[in-house]
């Protein structure tokens, strides 16, 4: 069913997948529509929560929630991701993840914010020009702190950038979005989900 939440979930998942491809991450899962129904159901529940006032930008907590959701679907830790055996090497505590795996969690948070603000029901007003300019400024911060140019001059996600730089980029995103809110409005207030 092509609901708003489904469209947001598909966008977030497939965009995160593309980021993993660009970073040459060790695990790049299949496209969203090729995932098993149980996965899509739980992922869409996560996305629904991420679109509301109870959303989280804590990558470590979101990773722990992901591990628990996978465990409920019968997955266990394994050195190789195997969809048939339901094993995944990222089913470990957040602090045991490598750079690229932590990056995926940070990218997820940023993509959720983009989907929340700019993927709407048909006919809904898009955020104003100031909001669009704020996300453009934030994208520049993210690029400056988490990417580099390759030998051909193309921007690529950098494996060499540490988690602290990505956290600073997420903090900059949050600060930019906070500055764009009308005085007295708190996170999630007055925003259509």
Residue 36 has pLDDT above 70, yes or no: yes
Counting other chains too, the contacts that 107-110 makes at CB distance below 8 Å and 24 or more residues apart are 107/15, 107/16, 107/19, 108/12, 108/16, 108/59, 108/62, 109/56, 109/57, 109/59, 109/62, 109/170, 110/142, 110/169, 110/170, 110/173
User: How far apart, in whole angstroms, are the C-alpha atoms of residue 29 and residue 32?
Assistant: 8
For 150-178, the pLDDT digits (tens) are 444 444 444 444 555 555 555 666 665 56
Q: Are 100 and 159 in contact (CB under 8 A)?
A: yes
Domain ranges of the chain: 4-179
Residue 121 has pLDDT above 90, yes or no: no
> Residue 51 carries which DSSP code?
T
pLDDT, the chain, mean? 78
Residue 3 has pLDDT above 80, yes or no: yes
Look at residue 118 in the predicted model and tell me its pLDDT: 84
Look at residue 149 in the predicted model and tell me its pLDDT: 46
Give the residue-averaged pLDDT of 34-53: 95
User: How far apart, in whole angstroms, are the C-alpha atoms of residue 62 and residue 34?
Assistant: 23
Q: Are 59 and 106 in contact (CB under 8 A)?
A: yes
Look at residue 92 in the predicted model and tell me its pLDDT: 97
Look at residue 187 in the predicted model and tell me its pLDDT: 46
Look at residue 119 in the predicted model and tell me its pLDDT: 86
**Exposed/middle/buried for residue 163 (C-beta within 10 Å: 0-12, 13-18, 19+):** middle
Look at residue 184 in the predicted model and tell me its pLDDT: 59
For 58-100, the pLDDT digits (tens) are 999 999 999 999 999 999 999 999 999 999 999 999 999 998 8
Give the residue-averaged pLDDT of 114-129: 69
């Amino acid at each position: 069913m092509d609901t708003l939440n489904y469209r947001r979930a598909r966008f977030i998942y497939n965009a995160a997948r593309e980021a993993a491809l660009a970073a040459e991450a060790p695990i790049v899962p299949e496209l969203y529509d090729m995932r098993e129904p149980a996965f899509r159901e739980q992922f869409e529940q996560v996305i629904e929560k991420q679109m509301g006032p109870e959303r989280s930008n804590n990558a470590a907590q979101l990773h722990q929630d992901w591990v628990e959701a996978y465990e409920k679907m019968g997955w266990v830790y394994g050195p190789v991701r195997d969809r048939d055996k339901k094993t995944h090497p990222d089913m470990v505590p957040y602090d045991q993840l490598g750079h690229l795996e932590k990056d995926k969690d940070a990218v997820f948070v940023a993509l959720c914010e983009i989907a929340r603000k700019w993927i709407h029901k048909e006919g809904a007003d898009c955020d104003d020009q100031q909001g669009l300019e704020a996300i453009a400024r934030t994208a520049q911060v993210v690029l400056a702190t988490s990417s580099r140019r390759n030998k051909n001059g193309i921007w690529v996600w950098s494996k060499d950038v540490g988690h602290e730089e990505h956290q600073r980029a997420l903090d900059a995103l949050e600060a930019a979005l906070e500055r764009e809110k009308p005085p007295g409005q708190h996170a999630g207030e007055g925003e259509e989900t």
